């Protein structure tokens, strides 16, 4: 198999103070997670490179992630955060785009009650600047927000949009109908790809690979193997068995696929989508 790329993982240092969402209630997540620990896991799972993704809505965290990535050859790219509505957006995005490992931005949309502002005409100059710089737009959303992202993708067909964690389907409750309908509509937009990630944390603590099959089959039918990107979602995956359990389940789900399709999901697609930073 070709180069294997983890398209989605995080690191954080609690003393930075960026992570308001991260409290002692999060159990195993409430500690520092750094690149040294993560890179040791790569060797054990035949993962060659990775995309590091923001976990705090601050420019400072994005700059921290870029500095960490620039000092580590195995981190191919960073998906950071910017305030699209800030008066400093154009200055900030131009500066980030000067750093080759900055491959995209990710607003934390799932925490917003209303994301319809993405469709406002006054946001167009900011989105066009992302397109100009070749930056991806990662979307962290809940299932009910899928229709807005579909309208957004239709509004900006030249913007590369990456759906994180398959839109977080409610796997533990087996509630798929609306998610399947809206996901299919989104997949009709050719500028959208989807991460095969974050599923086990939605499946509950006692998940097994077969619990993920309906979701996997839906993703394959909607996006096909050329538009799915495997991601570990480390260290969030530690809430549901850890990276190894998810890696093994992913391999089981993809076992019926051809080598070409498996190679695409586990690296080739990420190389194409985030190619600005992968070399």
**CA 272 – CA 254 distance, rounded (Å):** 20
In a domain, 148, yes or no: yes
Task: Find all residues with CB under 8 Å of 110, minimum gap 6, and list them.
Answer: 140, 141, 142, 145, 168
Q: How many domains in the chain?
A: 1
How high is the pLDDT of residue 276?
Answer: 64
In a domain, 279, yes or no: no
Whole-number Cα distances in Å, 155 to 140, 161, 179, 227: 18, 12, 21, 20
What are the tens digits of pLDDT across the range 73-108? 999 999 999 999 999 999 999 999 999 999 999 999
In a domain, 89, yes or no: yes
In a domain, 225, yes or no: yes
Give the phi and the psi of residue 136 in degrees, each rounded to 5: -80, 160
In a domain, 30, yes or no: yes
* Burial label, 238 (beta-carbon count in 10 A; 0-12, 13-18, 19+): middle
> Range of 140's domain?
5-273
**CA 69 – CA 134 distance, rounded (Å):** 19
How high is the pLDDT of residue 1?
Answer: 63
In a domain, 278, yes or no: no
Q: Is the dihedral of CA 142, 178, 229, 191 positive or negative?
A: negative
Residues of the chain with pLDDT under 70: 1, 276-279
State pTM to two decimals: 0.96
Q: Do residues 69 and 45 touch, judged by C-beta distance below 8 A?
A: no
| 263: CATH | 3.20.20.140
How high is the pLDDT of residue 279?
Answer: 41
């Amino acid at each position: 198999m070709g180069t294997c790329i983890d398209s989605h993982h995080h690191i954080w240092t609690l003393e930075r103070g960026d992570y308001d969402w991260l409290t002692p209630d999060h159990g195993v997540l409430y500690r520092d997670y750094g690149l040294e620990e993560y890179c040791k896991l790569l060797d054990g799972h035949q993962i060659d490179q990775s995309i590091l993704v923001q976990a705090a809505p601050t420019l400072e965290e994005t700059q921290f992630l870029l500095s960490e990535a620039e000092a580590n050859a195995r981190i191919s790219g960073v998906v950071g955060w910017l305030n699209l509505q800030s008066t400093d957006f154009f200055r900030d995005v131009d500066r980030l785009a000067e750093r080759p490992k900055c491959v995209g931005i990710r607003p934390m949309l799932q925490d917003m009650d209303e994301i319809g502002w993405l469709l406002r005409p006054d946001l167009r100059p900011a989105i066009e600047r992302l397109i100009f710089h070749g930056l991806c737009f990662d979307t962290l959303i809940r299932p009910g927000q899928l229709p807005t992202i579909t309208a957004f993708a239709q509004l900006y067909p030249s913007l590369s949009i990456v759906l994180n964690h398959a839109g977080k389907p409610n796997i533990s409750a087996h509630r798929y109908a609306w998610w399947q309908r809206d996901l299919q509509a989104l997949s009709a937009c050719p500028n959208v790809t989807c991460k095969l990630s974050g599923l086990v944390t939605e499946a509950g603590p006692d998940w097994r690979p077969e619990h993920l099959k309906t979701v996997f089959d839906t993703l394959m039918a909607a996006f096909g193997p050329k538009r799915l990107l495997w991601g570990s979602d480390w260290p969030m995956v530690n809430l549901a068995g850890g990276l190894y359990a998810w890696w093994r389940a992913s391999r089981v789900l993809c076992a019926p696929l051809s080598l070409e399709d498996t190679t695409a999901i586990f690296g080739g697609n990420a190389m194409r989508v985030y190619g600005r930073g992968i070399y």
